[in-house]
Amino acid sequence: MDGSISILHFNSRSLISNVSKIKHCLRQLEKQVTALAISETWLSDEQADMVEIEGYNMFFTNRTHSKAGGTALYINKSYKSRSVSNMSFALDNIMECITVEIEIKKSKNLLISCVYRKPGSCVDTFEKKLAELYNYTSSKKMLFVCGDFNIDLLNPQEHNATTEFINSMYSNSLYPTITRPTRITSHSATLIDNIFTNVMDRKVISGILINDTSDHLPVFATIQNCTRIKKDTRTVVITRHKTPESVNSFKEELRKQDWNKVYVPDVNEAYESFLDILSGLYEKHCPRVKKIVKQKYAEKPWITKGIENACKKKNELYKDLLKNRTVEAEQKYKTYKNKLTKIIRCSKMDHYNK
């Protein structure tokens, strides 16, 4: 991240169903995010190993009496991180919260919470619980509170509970970074997903991604000029320096080689001589070299170039839906998306059958 820290939040509406889409989105980004926050994971504790993401440590809080709700945080393994147990909990019929502390070299540590509030639950109880959580921590650490709050911040003056929630967050020096709708349909637009922060002394860039993983748009925030712990995530691979020229040189010297040492009565001696000559010339013309490979997410071989182009087309239709919000645009997008989903599913099945 070169001195910056980034947080990306998805409302997944079933992480098991959509983890592949989230991984695909991560692969499209130029740089790895520091923290990936997920709300509405719909997980049980036994399912955590089914949604691991390469290069990240996973922390989660699940709802105790049902598979709905739930929150998770994926922290880049380049950083030292730990779960904050007294700030990670599930409050029945109200909310779930997972909090992780990340060590930042030569700076305040970073505290990240991912929160999900159950729709229709008591806003007053929710607001008081958050105020209790961050009353003593907001001034000591860089703090980011992200998630699906299910509280529309677009028109706070029309709802007293919303105003009280915002004032409570302000009182703990937590300010929203997202100001545009995050859940858009043909008949409504609401701002219910957000990232609150107390970081005021550094440049924070925030925004919304156009992505149709669920009916909520992902939100992100990036802190500039933060020092990270240097931990090399690259892999050193030993390979051979083989070019057409070096291979031709190798063949040419084999042709000119004196093989008299091989033509001896003892089979073992002949084999050793042959092997010494062959391996010696191979090492000379195609020596071992070290190659540094950056860590990458596992590719999906069933995603063809045609499917990639179709995904781009689908995203364009989704952008058109968000812009125009017409029934026609919605129908066109959903029809195309459903056909593409079937094509991808068939391509994946064909790949594994082969």
Spell out the alpha helix ranges (H) of the chain: 15-28, 123-134, 160-171, 244-256, 267-285, 305-324, 327-353
- Residue 2 has what pLDDT? 55
Mean local confidence (pLDDT), 272-286: 91
- Across the chain, what does the average pLDDT equal? 89
- Give the separation between CA 117 and CA 65, rounded to whole angstroms: 15
The whole-number pLDDT of residue 88 equals: 96
Give the tens place of pLDDT for each residue, 22-73.
999 999 998 899 999 999 999 988 888 899 999 999 999 999 888 899 999 9
pLDDT above 50 for 1: no
Cα torsion angle, 309, 315, 319, 321, sign: positive
Is the CB of residue 227 less than 8 Å from the CB of residue 176? no
pLDDT one-digit tens code per residue, 235-250: 677 888 889 999 999 9
Least confident of 141-150, 158-167, 212-221, 330-339: 158-167
- pLDDT tier, 296 (very low <50, low <70, confident <90, very high otherwise): low
Mean pLDDT of 262-291: 90
Q: Is 250 exposed, middle or buried (0-12, 13-18, 19+ CB in 10 A)?
A: middle
pLDDT digits (tens, 9 = 90+) for 221-230: 999 766 544 4
- 195: closest CA among 325, 1, 5? 5
Q: How confident is the model at residue 108 (pLDDT cuts 50, 70, 90)?
A: confident
State the DSSP H helix or E strand holding residue 99, giving kind and residue range, or none if neither: strand 95-102
Please tell me the predicted confidence (pLDDT) of residue 209.
95
User: Which pLDDT band, with edges at 50, 70 and 90, does 164 fall under?
Assistant: very high
- The alpha-carbon radius of gyration of the chain (Å, integer) is 27
Question: Which pLDDT score, from 0 to 100, does residue 294 have?
Answer: 61
pLDDT given for residue 317 in this prediction: 92
Percent of the chain whose pLDDT exceeds 70: 93
